[in-house]
Amino acid sequence: MSQDPSHYAPNIVFRDTSSERKLFASRLRFVLVLLGALSVVLLVRYYFLQIVQHEHFTTQSDANRIHAMAIPPARGVIQDREGVVLAQSKPSFTLEIIKERVQDLDYTLGELQLLLQLDDAEVARFRERLKRRQRPYEGVPLRSNLDDEQIARIAVNRYRLPGVEVSAELVRDYPFKDLFAHSIGYVGRINEKELKQIEADGRLDDYYGVFSMGKIGIEKSYEKELLGVPGAQNVETDVRGRILRTLDRKDPVRGKTLTLYLDVKMQQAAVDALAGRRGAVVAIELDTGGVVTAVSTPSFDPNLFVTGISGKDYSALRDSPDLPLLNRMIAGEYPPGSTIKPHIALAGLEYNFVTPDYQIYDPGFFQLPGQTRQFRDWKKGGHGGGINAHLAIAQSCDIYFYQLANRMGIDRMHEFLSPFGLGAPTGVDLTGERKGVLPSREWKRARFKQAWYPGDTINAGIGQGYHLTTPMQLAVATATLAKRGIRIRPHLVKAIDGVDVLPVFEPPILLRNPRNWDVVINGMHEVAQGERGTARKVFLDAPYTVAGKTGTAQVVGIAQNEKYDAAKLAERQRDHGLFIAFAPVDNPKIAVAVIVENGNSGSGAAAPVARKVLDAWLVGQSSNAAAPEPADTGAGE
């Protein structure tokens, strides 16, 4: 109704105040309704969350704060027979970064790189891991295996590096490094395949919070005993995963302690005696079947494998021509050579192909009837006349055994040698054992689809040809001989948590004429300590009686009429030197088998190693040093 008054009197307005009031009133009513409606919306929303969905969100909230945490058990300690720790679990410290609490990640990483001398690749890997984490405030490891100095450096600088934390984890430690790598083995991170197997076995609960398991050796074969039982706890954590309080707890049970027959001093003596050469030494305590020395050289540091070996380190081990990863004592297969002769002689005596007094004349070669091929003796010109079983063993007369083998045939030979454990795994409590070859017609047909030739038997008679044995098999065969037919399955573990492991007896070898044992053993005594023995130089001055047998295994075939010349051959093509022994002769305590790869000869390379091992057991070791036996022998030197 009024004109716009503003152009002549800005602050005086002619207006219909009552209609404006009504207008305001209507707007106010509208607003009241709207605000009321919106308030109801809010209250309904909160009612829905707090009352209707209360249970759901309570569960959610508890899932946030309550975490079931595994308490991994401490893995069982492995110790030698004297209680010296060979494997244990030690805390290892890992540097972790919680990104949410870091103010400047680049700065923090730069500082840590300087403090800990990290290379760029490590930092790059960390950034990769950071991308893959599952939830905020989760710590991401930057560096594991921190040493004391690194921990100290972090502690000193921690005030200016928020979000940097050091966490502890139990990590397996092998204080003797490479000394026991092939017997004790090592643990490593459980891989996907192993995890699937654990799952398939329904044993996931047994590994709750456990990330490592035994991969080879004792660590693997006694995995169940060493593992322990994981504990668990429910804890309340904040968003950073920091534990604020424990709601309930079930304690873990630590793994069992394994006491081995192995002995640090024996082991060291054997390794020292090998002096860096490739080879294996196995020594067995005869009363128990316990393996007191188990050496395979070269070896490696098992600690490398525990938290994951670097690609560089692994390929160095894998590609080394010395094969440090090969466990020669159970997986190295060698022709036994002459070390098998005592057993073959025993077979001949037992089956009456020869008598103890039966003698041959050795012209230096042997020919199968109707064949021109000459099987030669190792000694040029032969050993001459008057070679009986005793001398054949003492001097390692090949011709005697060619003839004996030829008369006996491969079937009887196989039949007799089998119960000594040749050609089959010994069942030692280690992983990765190979079975070797005890040749037979069946084996050759299966392996080569060929018939057995008489010449094969001749070679087999001196432990060549198709024969393959592991040092462990040789040691068992020697121990069985020493015990006159009583065969015990070799084992490394003496006691589990203080409870002795009982020896397992294999079927014994019963001779129709037990005196045949004496013939063979006397021959072996002659080898080591007789006037005509092949290893007499090594054992003549030993303060105990020894029965032994040298052996030399050809690495390359030597053509007819060609003379073996070690100097000409490359080192890798030289013969392997072998030696088996037990002592004392009349009351044997220990048997040993030694192989020195490319050692040229058994007497020169392997016998001195055996001497050191026997010395360590019978002389050097106070607790086990049997008083030197009186040297009464029926060896008839």
Partner 1 sequence: MANTDFIRQLPSSGQIPQTIWQRLHVDPILLLLLLMLAGYGLFVLYSASDDHLIAMEKQGSFFLLGFGIMIVVAQVNQSYWRLIAPVFYGLGVLLLVAVALFGEISMGAQRWLQIPGLPRFQPSEMLKIGLPLVLATYFHNRSLPPRFKHVFWSLVMILLPVALIIEQPDLGTGMLVLSSGLIVLFMAGLGWGYIAGAVSLAAAMGPVMWFYVMHDYQRTRVLVLLDPHADKLGAGWNIIQSQTAIGSGGWAGKGWQQGTQSQLDFLPEGHTDFIIAVLSEELGYRGVLVLMAIYLLIVARGLWISWHAQETFGRLLGSTISITFFVYVFVNMGMVSGLLPVVGVPLPLVSQGGTAVVILMIGFGMLMAISTEKKRSSY
Residues lying near partner 1 in the complex (CB under 8 A)? 2, 4, 6, 10-16, 20, 23-25, 27-28, 31-32, 35, 38-39, 41-43, 45-47, 49-51, 53-54, 56-58, 60-62, 64-65, 135-136, 236-240, 244
Residue 305, Cβ neighbours under 10 Å: how many?
24
| CB of residue 124 to partner 1, shortest distance in Å | 22
By C-beta, is 2 or 561 nearer to partner 1?
2
By C-beta, is 138 or 333 nearer to partner 1?
138
Local structure of 334: helix, strand or coil: strand
Residue 162 near residue 103 (C-beta atoms within 8 A): yes
By C-beta, is 12 or 451 nearer to partner 1?
12
Rg (CA), the chain: 38
Q: Is 338 a catalytic residue?
A: yes
By C-beta, is 238 or 287 nearer to partner 1?
238
By C-beta, is 240 or 407 nearer to partner 1?
240
Please choose, from the candidates 523, 512, 436, 534, the residue with its C-alpha nearest in 3D space to the C-alpha of residue 477. 436
By C-beta, is 32 or 540 nearer to partner 1?
32
| CB of residue 127 to partner 1, shortest distance in Å | 17
Q: Measuring CA to CA, how many Å separate 401 from each of 253, 366, 377, 518? A: 58, 10, 10, 18
φ, ψ at 320 (rounded to 5°): -65, 135
| CB of residue 162 to partner 1, shortest distance in Å | 15
| CB of residue 168 to partner 1, shortest distance in Å | 23
Residue 161, Cβ neighbours under 10 Å: how many?
20
| CB of residue 25 to partner 1, shortest distance in Å | 7
Please choose, from the candidates 506, 512, 514, 527, the residue with its C-alpha nearest in 3D space to the C-alpha of residue 585. 527
Indicate left, alpha or beta for 511 from its phi (over 0: left) and psi (-120 to 50: alpha). beta
| CB of residue 282 to partner 1, shortest distance in Å | 57
297's CB contacts (< 8 A; 6+ apart) are: 271, 274, 276, 277, 278, 279, 280, 328
| CB of residue 129 to partner 1, shortest distance in Å | 16
| CB of residue 139 to partner 1, shortest distance in Å | 15
Distance CA 546, CA 285 (A): 15
Kind and range of the H or E element at 69? strand 66-71
Beta strands (DSSP E) in 200-257 are: 212-216, 231-237, 243-250
Catalytic residue among 296, 338, 440, 601: 338
Distance CA 152, CA 362 (A): 76
Local structure of 360: helix, strand or coil: strand
Q: What is the largest CA-CA distance in the chain?
A: 154
By C-beta, is 36 or 308 nearer to partner 1?
36
By C-beta, is 40 or 556 nearer to partner 1?
40
Tell me, rounded to whole angstroms, the distance of Cα 125 from its chain centroid. Answer: 29
Q: Tally helices (H) and strands (E) across the chain.
A: 22, 23
The two tokens of residue 98 are 């919680």
- Catalytic residue ranges: 338
